[in-house]
Amino acid sequence: MQGIDEVGGKVAIVTGAASGIGRAITELLVERGAYVIAEDIDPAVEALASPHVVPLVADISADGSAEKAVGLAVERFSRLDLLVNNAGIIINKLVVDMSRNDWERIMTVNVTGAFLHAREAMKAMIPRRSGAIVNVASYASYFSFPTIAAYTASKGALAQLTRTLALEAIEHGIRVNAVGSGDVLTNILNDAAPDGNGVAALAAHGEGAPIGRAANPKEIAEVVLFLASDRASFMVGSVVMADGGMSVKVGS
139 assigned to active site: no
Residue 250 phi/psi, 5-degree rounding, is: -105, 135
Asked whether the beta carbons of 203 and 247 are under 8 A apart, the reply is no
How far apart, in Å, are the Cα atoms of 206 and each of 58, 69, 167?
31, 34, 33
Torsion (CA) 212, 218, 223, 225 in degrees, nearest 10: 180
233 vs 177: CA distance, rounded Å: 11
Tell me 208's DSSP state: T
**Torsion sign over Cα 31, 36, 42, 48:** positive
Asked whether the beta carbons of 34 and 10 are under 8 A apart, the reply is yes
| Residue-wise burial string across 62-75, b where 16 or more C-beta atoms lie within 10 A, e elsewhere | eeebbebbbbbbee
Query: Catalytic: which of 35, 139, 142, 151?
Result: 151
Catalytic residues: 151
